């Protein structure tokens, strides 16, 4: 007899095995939980199933045709064959049809050996072309107009993942389906380049794309050229989240911190100095927390919005320009470190700023866009010369033939290699807020929080709120990750909500640990492991507040004077303006 809606579990049979299922869930989810692999090219965990690719089809006893398991609710007593001859033939035919109009440039494709289409073709034994021929293939042109993302429509398989993540999660809708029937393709508005679209360059489309249709724009060649130039001093900084994700590119368990190994690898790649962006995350907190305190004390514009995530900044400029006054004037940690490297560091080392080539290893494709913004530099010299993603760094390490398992850990260069753990947790959603609370509380009261851990702002929830009592003043803060969630909160404020003082927004769901430049995965368990690694570092190391970082104190004593000083405003702060784009 079928289970009732109130039943906690039900039983189904898959490939002759009895497995438990939960009422209301889709068959694909049940099968995966039981360790049964069913291929799919279009499914995104957490989003309503589209059933577009049909790769996950299975046979169900009593039903005449093949059924897409991603869109089939489980029923008690259901009997399923996931790899019947009929299902395998259907999947193989789908792959053969996709390859009929797909380029044969696997040797040159950035996704070679990491392509879901290639992997499925190998699994299904597709080793020759059955349909179509090269002469009849549709011709497309690469879109390289964006500073961050390259779009190659010829490699698109119309799975729709990029469209869904852009619209349903990020609320940007920079791309969509165009044409009908055999003319269907993914495109921007009016078939223009990404550079004039509403794209915020977050790279979440790159993460979910199963082929090489969407990739980050690589700057490896420019960086290698700079390293080879004897007249250039090439410095590199690495973002807080990179050390706990880079190892995944080399088969190391998610969440393993390889910071010292990465530093050693960067030196072997030829970088002259290795700095930690966690240092400038501390610097950001000194300026941002001071700005928040100043706004609260002087009746400034509230709620204040964080400015660390460049995709979020572009989103505000495009979709919510009325909130630009709310955005903190602080540059991001990457840009702050670039600025002090080409000023304070250049002066101390006696190096001309234009002879310093500043490279940033970032989890984010939007950072490539940010580095090129006109506001991010002085006297015609950019703060940052090139941005590489975590994936690009892994590529350089492979090119150099380095074995990360044999490298001996090394420390970063001082003074920009010293950070507090508050700067390290910047990599997770809620980390900026927690670090800011620690320092803002100190600035307002003169003493540290009794409990530095702020549990309410931790975790992967899309929106989190907390209230902190600061000597009788109740400060309300909110943490948001994913631009769709940010839009919902901004609409509440537009509608009259007035209780929030400070909002942290990270463009990517989960924060920088799941940024568009990180190792490709949609596995939430991996993202949780990355987050847990950052919080373990925060728990175990002694300096846990930005204002206690001795190198930060030194920088203010020797150069910046104090937070929000004229010099710090000149170097570390910026401004933003409304953008007009095609939507």
What residues are annotated to the active site?
A: 288, 291, 308, 328, 367, 370, 375, 512
Q: Residue 292, by phi and psi: left (phi above 0), alpha (psi -120 to 50) or beta?
A: alpha
Going from the C-alpha of 431 to that of each of 354, 423, 443, 470, 510, the distances in angstroms are 34, 8, 18, 19, 11
Task: Give me the phi and psi of 356, to 5 degrees please.
Answer: -105, 125
What is the CB neighbour count within 10 angstroms for residue 444?
17
Question: At CA 556, angle to CA 555 and CA 562, rounded to 5?
Answer: 160
Which stretches of 116-251 are DSSP H helices?
A: 116-123, 161-164, 204-208, 220-228
What is the CB neighbour count within 10 angstroms for residue 460?
18
List all residues 6 or more positions away from 208 whose beta carbon is below 8 Å from its beta carbon.
44, 161, 162, 165, 522
Question: At CA 239, angle to CA 233 and CA 240, rounded to 5?
Answer: 135
Rounded-to-integer distance, Cα 523 and Cα 224, Å:
33
What is the CB neighbour count within 10 angstroms for residue 410?
17
Cβ-based burial of 423 (10 A; exposed 0-12, middle 13-18, buried ≥19): buried
Q: In what helix (H) or strand (E) does residue 13 lie, and over which residues does it extend?
A: strand 10-14
Which residue, 54, 405, 451, is CA-closest to 250? 405
Which stretches of 458-523 are DSSP H helices?
A: 483-494
DSSP state of 198: S
Helix axes 220-228, 390-400, angle to 10 degrees: 50
Q: What is the CA radius of gyration of the chain?
A: 25
Cβ-based burial of 144 (10 A; exposed 0-12, middle 13-18, buried ≥19): middle
DSSP state of 430: T
Task: Give me the phi and psi of 113, to 5 degrees please.
Answer: 70, 0
Rounded-to-integer distance, Cα 223 and Cα 229, Å:
10
């Amino acid at each position: 007899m079928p289970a009732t809606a109130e039943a906690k579990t039900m039983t189904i049979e898959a490939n002759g095995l009895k497995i438990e299922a939960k009422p209301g869930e889709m068959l694909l989810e049940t099968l995966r939980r039981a360790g049964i692999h069913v291929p799919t090219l279009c499914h995104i965990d957490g989003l309503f199933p589209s059933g577009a690719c049909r790769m996950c089809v299975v046979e169900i006893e009593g039903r005449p045709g093949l059924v897409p398991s991603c869109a089939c609710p489980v029923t008690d007593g259901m009997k399923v064959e996931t790899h019947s001859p009929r299902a395998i033939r259907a999947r193989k035919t789908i792959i053969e049809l996709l390859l009929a109009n797909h380029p044969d440039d696997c040797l040159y494709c950035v996704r070679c050996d990491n392509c879901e289409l290639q992997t499925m073709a190998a699994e299904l034994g597709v080793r020759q072309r059955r349909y179509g021929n090269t002469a009849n293939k549709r011709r497309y042109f690469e879109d390289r107009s964006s500073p961050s993302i390259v779009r190659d429509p010829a490699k698109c398989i119309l799975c729709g993942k990029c469209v869904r993540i852009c619209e349903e999660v990020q609320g940007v809708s920079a791309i969509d389906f165009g044409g009908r029937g055999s003319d269907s393709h993914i495109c921007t508005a009016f078939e223009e380049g990404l550079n004039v679209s509403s794209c915020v360059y977050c790279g979440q489309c790159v993460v979910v794309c199963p082929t090489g249709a969407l990739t980050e724009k690589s700057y490896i060649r420019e960086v290698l050229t700079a390293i080879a130039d004897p007249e250039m001093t090439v410095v590199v900084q690495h973002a807080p989240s990179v050390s706990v994700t880079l190892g995944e590119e080399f088969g190391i368990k998610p969440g393993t911190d390889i910071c010292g190994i990465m530093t050693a690898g960067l030196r072997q790649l030829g970088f002259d100095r290795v700095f930690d962006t966690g240092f400038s995350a501390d610097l950001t907190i000194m300026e941002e927390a001071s700005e928040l305190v100043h706004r609260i004390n002087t009746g400034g514009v509230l709620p204040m919005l964080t400015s660390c995530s460049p995709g979020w900044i572009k989103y505000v400029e495009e979709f919510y320009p009325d909130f630009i006054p709310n955005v903190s004037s602080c540059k991001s940690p990457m840009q702050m470190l670039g600025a002090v490297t080409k000023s304070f560091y250049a002066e101390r080392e006696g190096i001309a700023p234009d002879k310093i080539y500043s490279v940033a290893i970032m989890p984010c494709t939007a950072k490539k866009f940010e580095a090129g913004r006109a506001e991010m530099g002085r006297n015609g010299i950019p703060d940052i010369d090139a941005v590489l993603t975590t994936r690009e760094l892994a590529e350089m390490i492979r090119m150099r033939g380095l074995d990360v398992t044999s490298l001996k850990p090394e420390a970063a260069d001082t003074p920009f290699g010293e950070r507090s753990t508050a700067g390290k947790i910047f990599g997770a959603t809620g980390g900026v807020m927690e670090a800011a609370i620690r320092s803002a509380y100190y600035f307002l009261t003169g003493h540290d929080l009794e409990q530095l851990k702020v549990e309410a702002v931790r975790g992967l929830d899309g929106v989190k709120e907390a209230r902190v009592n600061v000597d009788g003043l109740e400060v309300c803060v909110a943490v948001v990750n994913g631009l769709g969630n940010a839009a919902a909160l901004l609409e509440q404020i537009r509608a009259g909500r007035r209780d929030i003082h400070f909002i942290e927004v990270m463009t990517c769901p989960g924060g920088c640990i799941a940024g568009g430049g990180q190792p490709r995965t949609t596995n939430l368990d991996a993202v949780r492991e990355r987050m847990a690694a950052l919080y373990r570092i925060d728990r175990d190391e002694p300096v846990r507040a930005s204002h206690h970082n001795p190198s930060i104190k030194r920088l203010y004593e020797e150069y910046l004077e104090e937070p929000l000083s004229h010099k710090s405003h000149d170097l570390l702060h910026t401004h933003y303006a409304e953008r007009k784009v095609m939507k």
